[in-house]
A and B are shown apart, each in its own frame.
Chain A
Amino acid sequence: MNPLAYELAHLDALEAEAVHIFREVAAEFERPVLLCSGGKDSLVLLRLAEKAFRPARFPFPIMHVDTGHNFPEVLEFRDRLIDELGERLIVANVQDSIDAGRVAEETGPRASRNRLQTTTLLDAISEHGFDAAFGGARRDEERARAKERMFSFRDDFGQWDPKRQRPELWNLYNGRIRKGEHVRVFPLSNWTELDVWQYIAREKLEVPSIYFAHRRQVFKRDGMLYAFSPHVELVDGEEPFETSVRYRTVGDMTCTGAVRSEAVTLQAVVAEIAATRVTERGETRADDRVTEAAMEDRKREGYF
């Protein structure tokens, strides 16, 4: 037997694993939902869902938690893509949670709706009765996420308890939950940032324009470049200026930093990422910088 004939390229192996997880969740849960921000990881999730369920439609809807401070390019892209896929989109608005008095808007120059999203997300999960939510989180993103399971259990408050995680053996996933509990499912757990980009290149997936270098009005804060927009308040000494940037992650405009870049093609972006010396969250996410365990704390509260 020629062993070379049965070698599976690493992206194919990761894809096979993720597709297996998608189908397992569809089979074992009553009301799954796919969380989608329009960012690169959720675009890969959508492609994997196509691989798992076509020629049928997805056996679940897609949900976006919209902070109201998202990049307009990403929202436009999201709507067009979901339309092309012919799938159902639910939008849960942080603004609605604010209007309903469920959360209070932060104030000051560093105000962000990042943390408020958690309430909107948990409310939407409970309102629709979702028992499983696919997310695009990867273990290589952040220290607390490195400990995350493929099936991550949340109690009826949406909380994550890292000490009470279930062991995951072989490809046997235990999806038993009690009423009110739900599971976050992370099919991309074993993917790295580079895997995601290589997959986007291989699958020729279209991504929002902000991932490529473009001219933008930005300002510098804590060593990071942020988009100058009506949603931010500048403090003394902060001056907006125009330069060529791209984004490595897509989040809320108020807490997602840009990197200086001239990379206008996918090939150039992948080359820059392969050569980078800083992680994507370390470079561009203010939300992780609050304390050493910022992500762990938010996850415990029910964050993505």
Chain B
Amino acid sequence: MGGPSSNGHLTAVRTSELLRFATAGSVDDGKSTLIGRLLHDSKAILEDQLQHVVETSERRGDGYLNLALLTDGLRAEREQGITIDVAYRYFATARRKFIIADTPGHEQYTRNMVTGASTADLSIVLVDARNGVLEQTRRHAYIASLLRIPHVVFCVNKMDLVDWDEAVFDRVAEELTDWSARLGIPDVTFIPISALEGDNVVERSERMDWYEGPPLLYHLEHVVIATDRNLTQVRFPVQWVIRPNSTEHHDYRGYAGQLAGGVVRSGDEVLVLPSGQRTKIQAIDTFEGARECAFPPMSITLRLKDQLDVSRGDMIVEPDDPPTSARELDAVVCWMSESALRRGARYQIKHTTRSARAVVDQLEHRVDVNTLAHQPASELALNEIGRVRLRTSAPLIVDPYARNRTTGSFILIDETTGDTAGAGMICAAS
């Protein structure tokens, strides 16, 4: 079994994978306690940090070890007892290194949840066993599904307060199985836990022998994530052209970027978009030397067989199943700005390594994040989610978000303030 081992991550350095997970929840559902326990039991909380929490909890008169103080780093947060935005925490076991994107779960923080979820491989949704499935549980699951987080773990917490009752757990699991199916979440796991007492967090609970699955940490260490990324359609947004202009590398011309989809091999036939020219991959270069093959999310440099005019914003793709070159996008947008999105408004759009201008042609509807109902809307305010139709000043090379999280996503930037105003996921394009 894969319990945490404090020395293991030295020897296992070559095989340990990185898992990014997001947690969302409010103050009293035990989220901080759960994170605190994962960090503490994996030795990621060090003595001076713990000492700080002890002293501050006492001074504030919290009456308990307030583990939220570990993540709430800013003075305003500590003073007001709130979490302003996404806090990132790190811990490691022998098998994996973990990045936690910890976000507050209240509706008014939807934008933070979306931000944390955008890079997550897995989402932990906490359910208080006493209260069962609440509106916010459904909302958290919806956001995980919207951002296409492949794995969702529902931790039914505070099982100690319901006498470790299997029936309580089953009821929650049944209800959320239906909801998850409706949302189309591919992999759903249910774990009964007590974050406070540690049951089924790191160690198996002996008080819930009716539960046959693994504890949470074991699941986090073993869930297969390597195949979650699109490994079938090659997508390589060109980020930077490497041209040394030195006598030693006189004719060198390499296209650098982070592979967004597919497995590329030296010798593969490829298509360059938007020009539509075909060529072959001459070599896959890295600092260490040439590689035979590469897969996402590796940062690599491609050299092509023919001398073509390729620059930043272009995409090198596979010829058989290329993305769409589109100026009209149907997308779901989560709004992140205090100045509302309205029909006719113009923004800067950034998609992969390409930027353009975009105008909102249509605001189709707003999504009620608690019921999924579509409502007619004349604007999208901060933290609201809706479906829009955008027209762009130049073609973007896109896939549906459901197919590729990198080539299917974009951000909208307010041209006046420069702020990131919205996050978009492409449904269809033409």
**Could you list which residues of chain A lie within 8 angstroms of chain B, going by C-beta atoms?**
1, 3-17, 19-20, 23-24, 26-27, 50-57, 139-140, 142-147, 162-163, 165-172, 174, 176-178, 189-190, 192, 194-195, 198, 202, 270-271, 274-279, 282-283, 292-293, 296
Among B12-20, B181-189, B195-203, the one that faces the other chain is B12-20
Most chain B C-beta atoms within 10 Å of own C-beta, residue among A10, A24, A51: A10
Q: Which residues of B contact A171 (CB under 8 A)?
A: 119, 258, 297, 406
Q: Contact check: which of A5, A166, A192, A279 meets B420 at CB < 8 Å?
A: A166
Least CB distance from A279 to B in Å reads: 5
Q: Contact check: which of B9, B17, B231, B352 meets A274 at CB < 8 Å?
A: B9
Cβ A162 vs Cβ B74 within 8 A? yes
The reply on B235 being an interface residue by CB < 8 A is no
Among B154-162, B166-174, B243-251, the one that faces the other chain is B243-251
Q: Which 7 A-B pairs have the closest CB atoms?
A: A282-B48, A143-B73, A176-B418, A19-B299, A10-B18, A10-B97, A56-B244
Q: Which residues of B contact A172 (CB under 8 A)?
A: 350-352, 409-411
Cβ A20 vs Cβ B239 within 8 A? yes
Cβ B350 vs Cβ A195 within 8 A? no
The reply on B89 being an interface residue by CB < 8 A is yes
Cβ A167 vs Cβ B73 within 8 A? no
Q: Which residues of A contact B411 (CB under 8 A)?
A: 169, 172, 174
Known contacts A17-B297, A56-B244, A162-B84; decide if A168 and B9 are in contact (CB<8 Å): no
Q: How long is the Cα–Cα vector from A145 to B71 in the complex, in angstroms? A: 11
* Listed A/B pairs (10) with beta-carbon separation below 8 Å: A10-B17, A23-B299, A54-B287, A147-B74, A169-B114, A169-B409, A171-B297, A270-B10, A282-B48, A296-B74
Cβ A276 vs Cβ B46 within 8 A? yes
Least CB distance from B189 to A in Å reads: 18
Cβ B409 vs Cβ A146 within 8 A? no
Cβ B231 vs Cβ A147 within 8 A? no
By beta carbon, the residue of chain A nearest B424 is A169
Cβ A163 vs Cβ B298 within 8 A? no
Task: Tally chain B residues at the interface, Cβ within 8 Å.
Answer: 82
Cβ B18 vs Cβ A8 within 8 A? yes
Q: How long is the Cα–Cα vector from A167 to B348 in the complex, in angstroms? A: 16
Most chain A C-beta atoms within 10 Å of own C-beta, residue among B56, B85, B410: B85
Annotate B299-343 by CB proximity to A: 1 below 8 A, 0 otherwise. Answer: 100000000000010000000000000000000000010000000
Cβ B13 vs Cβ A163 within 8 A? no
The reply on B90 being an interface residue by CB < 8 A is yes
Q: Contact check: which of A27, A176, A198, A271 meets B239 at CB < 8 Å?
A: A27
Cβ A165 vs Cβ B297 within 8 A? no
Known contacts A167-B423, A169-B115, A190-B88; decide if A16 and B298 are in contact (CB<8 Å): yes
Known contacts A16-B298, A51-B287; decide if A11 and B13 are in contact (CB<8 Å): yes
Most chain A C-beta atoms within 10 Å of own C-beta, residue among B71, B73, B87: B73
The reply on B123 being an interface residue by CB < 8 A is no
